[in-house]
């Protein structure tokens, strides 16, 4: 169970009925993330801020990419767009064969639910909710039945070495353990991409090392990982690094 759960199985995945999969099969030619000349412009009153200015980026199946840049460089904006939380102002973004252009909020949420697993700096677990229920929540929004949710959630937590902490609340776990619960939550839906935003930012060195080891293990299993960080030491661990400065890749 757990082996298949965490193995990369993009070929075996079936999207919700009705989803157009004509171009979804990832091949060498089709990048999993295909961003071309992407702009993101904010209008704050009379001021116009260009957070991203013509970014192009391709990430292929099985890659481990670090997006590095100082704060204010636009890397968070880029992460929000990759994670389907935000939309580009101009340019195209095709995620696993689906263009985000013209998608409604609900369609964007479905795409996010299917393709993206988020890991945040501040863990962002639901308070007063057990580790098992936290990890099971993304499956709730995919319409998975309760029994299967609990089963898959427990398997994912066990896989991350939290088999003894299934019923603990986030407040009863250490930072490193909470981040591992968050990773289990990102993995449980078997998404195309793990999108990690400063995942070691709130952790002490030892926990940080452990969490990074998890990412390396996932990469070896064939997972696609996009890591956003301002920390060059962390970024250096990724096989491929992309630098962002002033809204452009350098």
Point out which residues pair with 57 in neighbouring strands: 35
Rounded to whole angstroms, the Cα distance separating 87 from 100 reads 8
**109 is a contact residue toward other proteins (CB under 8 A):** yes
Cα 128 from chain centroid (whole Å): 24
Rounded to whole angstroms, the Cα distance separating 75 from 131 reads 30
**26 is a contact residue toward other proteins (CB under 8 A):** no
Pattern of binders to other proteins over 131-170, x per CB under 8 A?
------xx-xxxx--x------------------------
**93 is a contact residue toward other proteins (CB under 8 A):** no
Give the other-Cβ count within 10 Å of 42's Cβ.
Answer: 11
Which tokens hold the place of 17?
Answer: 């009925």
Point out which residues pair with 50 in neighbouring strands: 41
The span of 6-14, 90-98, 106-114, 152-160 binding other proteins (CB under 8 A) equals 106-114
| Chosen residue from 40, 75, 112, 165 binding other proteins by CB under 8 A | 112
Residue count of the chain, please give it. Answer: 250
**110 is a contact residue toward other proteins (CB under 8 A):** yes
Point out which residues pair with 221 in neighbouring strands: none
Residue 182 CB, nearest approach to other proteins (Å): 10
Which of 110/219 has CB closer to other proteins? Answer: 110
The span of 23-31, 41-49, 125-133, 173-181 binding other proteins (CB under 8 A) equals 125-133
Which of 114/219 has CB closer to other proteins? Answer: 114
Q: What residues between 66 and 85 interact with other proteins by CB under 8 A? A: 80, 83, 85
DSSP string spanning 88-155? -SEEEEEETTEE-TT--HHHHHHHHHHHEEEE-TT--PPTTS-HHHHHHHHHHTTT--HHHHHHHHHH
| Chosen residue from 126, 209, 213, 236 binding other proteins by CB under 8 A | 126
Residue 108 CB, nearest approach to other proteins (Å): 9
| Chosen residue from 132, 153, 177, 189 binding other proteins by CB under 8 A | 189
Shortest CA distance to 75 belongs to which of 229, 233, 224, 192? 229
């Amino acid at each position: 169970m757990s082996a298949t759960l965490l193995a990369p199985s993009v070929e075996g995945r079936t999207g919700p009925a009705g989803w157009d999969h004509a171009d979804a099969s990832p091949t060498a030619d089709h990048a999993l993330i295909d961003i071309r000349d992407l702009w993101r412009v904010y209008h704050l009153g009379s001021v116009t801020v260009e957070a991203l200015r013509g970014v192009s980026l391709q990430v292929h199946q099985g890659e481990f990419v670090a997006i590095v840049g100082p704060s204010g460089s636009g890397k968070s904006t880029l992460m929000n767009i990759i994670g389907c939380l935000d939309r580009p102002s101009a340019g195209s973004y095709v995620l696993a064969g689906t263009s985000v252009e013209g998608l409604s909020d609900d369609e964007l949420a479905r795409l996010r639910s299917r393709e993206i697993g988020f890991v945040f700096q501040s863990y962002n677990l639901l308070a007063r909710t057990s580790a098992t229920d936290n990890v099971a929540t993304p499956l709730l929004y995919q319409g998975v039945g309760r029994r299967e949710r609990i089963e898959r959630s427990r398997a994912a937590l066990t896989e991350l070495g939290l088999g003894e902490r299934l019923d603990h609340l986030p407040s009863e776990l250490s930072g490193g353990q909470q981040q591992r619960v968050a990773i289990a939550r990102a993995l449980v839906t078997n998404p195309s991409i793990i999108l990690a935003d400063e995942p070691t930012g709130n952790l002490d060195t030892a926990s940080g090392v452990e969490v990074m080891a998890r990412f390396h293990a996932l990469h070896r299993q064939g997972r696609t990982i996009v890591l956003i960080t301002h920390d060059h030491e962390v970024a250096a661990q990724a096989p491929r690094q992309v630098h962002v400065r002033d809204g452009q890749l350098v």
